[in-house]
């Protein structure tokens, strides 16, 4: 059983629908005791980092997430919250990944014509995780984001949007995707299915 962590952030319905499409059982819960019974966990998220970390902290779910030994996948904002710090609201995050989360507008060259947020399809490369078993280098996935995680030893996929950034992270039982696998068609469903096997 997969536990979707409900902390008031958006995009939960699309994650639920994707799990249904691949035939995965799940429970949506904000109760750490119930989530602790699940085989694996998904931390979804669309929203603002400071608000989201406040919700997680007030509920105690931040400590539950830090201490879980279950495979856990953060999606979009969910991945960013697993990092050490976000430039969005100068927010200390959970510190599972030592990455910093930065705003494209402050990182792109001043003469860049790229739009922020990045919205749409982009490719992933330098694939280094079981998340990507059977996924070809250069596969396209769907992004909607203004903030990105920098690259370090926990980077397990890279995407270019004016600059290279971590489109996925992995460390021990923790994984993250900046893109939305639940909105990325067959490739995204394959990535989710791979996570369910970890």
The residues annotated as belonging to the active site are 76, 180, 182
Determine contact, residues 173/71, Cβ cutoff 8 Å. yes
* Cα–Cα distance measured from residue 104 to residue 65, given in angstroms and rounded to the nearest whole number: 27
16, containing H or E segment? helix 12-21
Q: Which two tokens stand for residue 64?
A: 């539950």
According to DSSP, the β-strands at 100-103 and 85-86 are: parallel
121: left (phi over 0), alpha (psi -120 to 50) or beta: beta
Secondary structure class of 103 (helix, strand, coil): strand
Closest to 96 (Cα-Cα) out of 163, 14, 172: 172
């Amino acid at each position: 059983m997969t536990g979707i962590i409900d902390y008031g952030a958006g995009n939960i319905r699309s994650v639920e629908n994707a799990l249904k499409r691949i035939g995965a059982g799940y429970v949506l819960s904000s109760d750490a005791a119930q989530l602790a019974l699940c085989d694996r966990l998904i931390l979804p998220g669309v929203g603002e980092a400071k608000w989201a970390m406040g919700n997680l902290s007030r509920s105690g779910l931040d400590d539950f997430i830090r201490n879980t030994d279950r495979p856990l996948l953060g999606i979009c904002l969910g991945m960013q919250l697993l990092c050490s710090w976000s430039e969005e609201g100068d927010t200390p995050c959970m510190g599972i990944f030592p990455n910093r989360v930065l705003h494209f507008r402050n990182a792109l060259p001043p003469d860049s014509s790229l739009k922020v947020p990045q919205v749409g399809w982009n490719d992933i490369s330098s694939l280094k995780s079981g998340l990507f078993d059977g996924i070809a280098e250069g596969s396209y996935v769907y992004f909607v984001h203004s903030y990105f995680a920098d690259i370090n030893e926990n980077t397990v996929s890279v995407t270019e949007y004016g600059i290279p950034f971590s489109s996925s992270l992995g460390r021990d039982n923790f994984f993250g995707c900046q893109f939305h696998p639940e909105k990325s068609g067959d490739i995204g469903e394959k990535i989710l299915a791979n996570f369910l096997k970890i």
